Amino acid sequence: MGCLFCNILEGKIPSAKVYENKRVFAFKDINPQAKVHLLFVHKEHTEDLCQLIKQDVSQLNDLFVAIREYVEQVGLDKSGFRVIINNGKEAGQEVWHTHVHILGGERLGRLNSR
């Protein structure tokens, strides 16, 4: 079946789209960890952040410009939001297509530190 997010991008798997431009697609996470939990993915497949940076670092710009546009449209820029990129298995990455989590819409707790 291939990459889950590539299948979502191709329309083979349904998603709750919240944003799209020529290079980036964003949709609601199916297992939300906050009132707002979105995933922003680049339409060009890379497995993780390290590969994206090696392959085409401009994709990071595409992702963060899209995030800025979206949060300004819905007002998350005013209330605040969290940006998370899990890179690798031990960091919690479960889908091997680089993606950015956006969490917000409520007061978020502090991250645990060691």
What is the per-residue pLDDT for 111? 76
What is the per-residue pLDDT for 2? 85
Q: Mean pLDDT throughout 12-16?
A: 97
CA distance 88 to 47: 9
* pLDDT at residue 67 greater than cutoff 90: yes
The catalytic residues are 99
Q: How far is CA 72 from CA 6, 17, 46, 47, 106, in A?
A: 26, 17, 27, 28, 16
What's the mean per-residue pLDDT of the chain?
95
What is the per-residue pLDDT for 1? 60
What is the per-residue pLDDT for 114? 59
Domains and CATH numbers, the chain: 4-104 (3.30.428.10)
* pLDDT at residue 53 greater than cutoff 80: yes
pTM value > 0.85: yes
